[in-house]
Every structure is written in C-alpha cells, then in structure tokens.
C-alpha cells in the first residue's frame, strides 16, 4: 500500500464528479472507477465515499435512482445533474490552473529565482 498516495484534501468531490460524469454509477462503482482511472495510485477509504456522495446530492450536483447492478443486486445509482456538470468543468479548470502553477514553482531552477 505504500505506493498509494493519500488524497489531497478537497479533491474527493472532484474525483467523484469526474467518475460519475462518464455514466451513472453506484457507490462501489464510483470507487472502482476512480481506482481504475487513477491506476490504483490513490487510496480512498471506502466508507468515506458515502458522506461525500450525500453531500454532493444535498448540493444538487448529483441525483440518485435505485436500479439493478450488473450482478443483479439492488443498488443506488448516482448521476450528474446539469449543475454538477458545470461544477465539474469549473473545478477541473481550477485544478488544472493551480497544478500548473504549483508545477511551475516546483520546477523552478536557481537562476530563475
């Protein structure tokens, strides 16, 4: 597990929105999707996913529906709302800008300072 990074604070919501944007998912599906797209490098406490999902529903960024899973279990599916899609776009932009800035700072050479 040592090669798995702790999640940066505040990024879980962004990851969830991204995962769900590719199609409706149940909670476990969200977890799998994140692990899959991150190549298993991010560690997410499984239970901690749910308070975050509930928060996003309360904020109106996700909507929910009960459905059958691929192996025929009843599960609650999360889907992005229009507002959620807009928020994802904003957050993604913000993330890109700040990570670029941080990367620039970290790659600065002595003569450039």
14 vs 31 by CB, closer to other proteins: 31
Contacts of 55 (CB under 8 A, 6+ apart): 13
Distance of closest approach, residue 76 Cβ to other proteins, in angstroms: 5
Cβ atoms within 10 Å of 99's Cβ, excluding its own? 11
Contacts of 78 (CB under 8 A, 6+ apart): 16, 20, 24, 25, 26, 27, 30, 53, 56, 57, 62, 63, 64
> What part of residues 77-106 is at the interface with other proteins (CB under 8 A)?
none
54 vs 94 by CB, closer to other proteins: 54
**Which one among 1, 3, 41, 46 touches other proteins, defined by CB under 8 A?**
46
CA 73 to chain centre: 24
Q: For residue 27, what is the DSSP state?
A: H
**3-state secondary structure at position 37:** helix
Site string for other proteins, 5-44 (x = CB under 8 A): ---------------------xxxx-x-------------
27 vs 80 by CB, closer to other proteins: 27
Give the residues lining the site for other proteins (CB under 8 A). Answer: 26-29, 31, 45-48, 50-51, 53-55, 57-60, 69, 71, 73-76
């Amino acid at each position: 597990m040592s090669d798995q990074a702790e999640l940066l604070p505040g990024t879980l919501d962004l990851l969830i929105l991204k995962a769900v944007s590719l199609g409706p998912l149940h909670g476990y599906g969200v977890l799998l999707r994140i692990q899959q797209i991150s190549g298993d490098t991010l560690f997410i406490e499984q239970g901690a996913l749910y308070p975050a999902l509930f928060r996003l529903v309360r904020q109106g960024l996700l909507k929910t529906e009960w459905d059958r899973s691929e192996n025929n279990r009843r599960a609650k599916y999360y889907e992005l709302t229009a507002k959620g899609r807009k928020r994802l776009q904003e957050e993604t932009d913000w993330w890109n800008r700040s990570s670029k800035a941080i990367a620039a700072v970290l790659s600065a050479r002595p003569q450039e300072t």
